[in-house]
Amino acid sequence: MFARHLASPGKPLRSATATVVAAFLLLWPNAAAGAARQAPTGGDSVATDAVNAYVYGYPLVLTQATRQLSTNVTRPNAVTGQAPVNQFVTQENVPGPSFKTVVSPNVDTLYSSAWLNLKREPVILHVPDTRGRYYLMPILSAWTDVIASPGKRTTGTAAGDFAITGPDWHGTLPTGVQRIKLPTDTAWIIGRTQLNGPSDLPAVHALSAKYTLTPLSAYGRPYTPPTGRVDPDLPTVSPPKRVAQMDAQTFFSHLASAMADNPSSPADAPMAATLRRLGIRPGKPFDIDAKGKTTAQALRQAVPEGQQRIQEAVAALGNDVNGWRVALDLGRYGTDYLRRAATAWQGLGANLPRDAVYPTVFKDSQGRQLNGAHRYTIHFPPGRIPPAHAFWSLTMYDQQGFLVPNPVNRYAIGHTTKPEPNSDTSVTIYVQHDPPAPDKRSNWLPAPAGPFNVMLRMYWPRQTVLNGTWSPPPVTTSARPSTSCPSGPARTS
């Protein structure tokens, strides 16, 4: 459930949450058709270079701001999702309707998050034997690319040790320890462990307590993590808001500083040359006036123009499939800097599609906003239920992106609440505000009285999802409106 910026197609919004973004972000899924695939272009003018530099640097600056706030504590705090560097923190409870910390909370897994500093030495990630339980431990670079994803899909569920190393480390690892080489000294682990309902919490907490991080120098010996250091002057505003409020001098200073330990890739050489022309050099103090008035003005103007370019690209990610927003190209970005920045703006920390895909729907098959004033069905024909090796679910969210109170305390269906198949093995989900007939209530996904959206989560999706031969069915409006709701759809803002 990592924090993300909820958006309906063509209308990106930023979360107003002032708590820690890393207090668990939900990888964003809802994007729109026709993605712009490359960083903005337009010749070699200084103005274009400056906007390109902002777009390029945005994910790294946001990552560093998130890391700073997420680790600014003395010990792990499961409520805020914060922990000192090189220490895990695991989500405390399953969210419900009262949970308002982040939008689109996840009720299918518990998150275990850790920020790593690999500059001094490698860190050993230990995972226990999960006895077949699904989990994944995606490890992201400071530029937001998923570098590796240990877990059931890739390494199985037996116990294992993984040495996460920085770009400049050279040495020998203990026998049996697998190396994962990061291109940056900052890394982020966003672990997820399958949760089979609230009653499963004790088992998942016991398991996640065995996820450990140990410096290589302490491997094989008893180790107690040190107390974290707190910077009392660090801004407590949410990282996306903090970055959005940075002026050009501040933003590009942060970028230059962050690049000292988190270098650009060899493929980024042309962009690195652009940064140098603008006076932005890794690890060097940045002076906006050093290259003259024209460059200084271009850099200042690049902040609002870069933000606008990124926001516009948010609505151009992914594809429209039967009314659902489906993105199958997140997690690794190459030199597609605009897609990388738009993904970070929408929700920092996206998974690889091979690990999880999150189609989201805001409209019915006729293009009308979903609303609890009407009844809907989602019908999966025989043999066409969501194809996932791990599990799938449909989760209901209100217009603000929060879980919906309802008389049966059901916020999702498919994983912990199994729908009943029809006689032909097809599955029909009833999406409506008022309860359906008694014989259909096992397949009821309760909706709010007003506007809403539904997210389909597929963990470890099968190849048919990834190659597009399977797609989610449209949300179909039933013949008559729900009698317990207003006669017409509520106005959306």
Dist CA 447 CA 398 (whole Å): 8
Instruction: Identify the pLDDT of residue 7.
Output: 38
Terminal-to-terminal C-alpha distance of the chain: 24
Residue 37, pLDDT > 90, answer no
Strand ranges inside 172-286, DSSP E: 177-181, 186-194, 212-215
Band of residue 487 on the pLDDT scale cut at 50, 70, 90: very low
pLDDT of residue 347: 84
> What pLDDT does 99 receive?
85
Mean pLDDT across the chain? 89
**pLDDT of res. 5:** 39
pLDDT at 26: 35
pLDDT at 431 (0 to 100) = 98
Q: Is the pLDDT of residue 469 over 80?
A: yes
pLDDT, tens digit (0-9, with 9 covering 90-100), for 418-459: 999 999 999 999 999 999 999 999 999 999 999 999 999 999
Q: Are 24 and 3 in contact (CB under 8 A)?
A: yes
Kindly tell me if the per-residue pLDDT of 9 is higher than 60.
no
pLDDT score of 33 more than 50:
no
Q: What is the percent of the chain where pLDDT is above 70?
A: 88
Closest CA to 347 of 69, 96, 103: 103
pLDDT for res 346: 87
Q: What are the tens digits of pLDDT across the range 333-354?
A: 999 999 999 999 988 889 999 9
CB 139 within 8 A of CB 187: yes
Is a pLDDT exceeding 50 seen at residue 378?
A: yes
Report whether pLDDT(34) > 70.
Answer: no
Please give the pLDDT value at position 14. 38
pLDDT at 151 over 80: yes
Q: What is the pLDDT of residue 103?
A: 79
Poorest-confidence range of 96-100, 139-143, 189-193, 262-266? 96-100
User: Is residue 12 scored above 90 in pLDDT?
Assistant: no
The pLDDT of residue 4 is above 60? no
- Share above pLDDT 90 across residues of the chain, in percent, rounded to a whole number: 82
pLDDT of residue 480: 58
Task: Write the pLDDT tens digit of every residue in 62-76.
Answer: 999 999 999 999 999
Give which of 131, 181, 137, 187 is closest to 159, Cα–Cα.
Answer: 131
Higher-confidence residue of 19 and 90: namely 90
Asked whether the predicted pLDDT for residue 170 surpasses 70, the reply is yes
For residue 301, what are the contacts with CB-CB under 8 A and spacing of at least 6?
Answer: 47, 50
What is the predicted pLDDT for the residue at 100? 80
Greater confidence, 491 or 223?
223
Burial class from Cβ neighbours inside 10 Å (0-12, 13-18, 19+) for residue 154 reads: middle
Range with lowest mean pLDDT among 17-26, 77-86, 144-153: 17-26
What φ, ψ does residue 146 adopt, rounded to 5°? Answer: -80, 115
pLDDT of residue 315: 84
Q: How do residues 247-277 score in pLDDT, each as one tens digit?
A: 999 999 999 999 999 999 999 999 999 999 9
What is the DSSP secondary structure assignment for residue 363, as one 8-state letter? B
What is the DSSP track for 65-104? HHHHHHT-SSS-BTTTTB--TT--EE--S---TT--SSSS
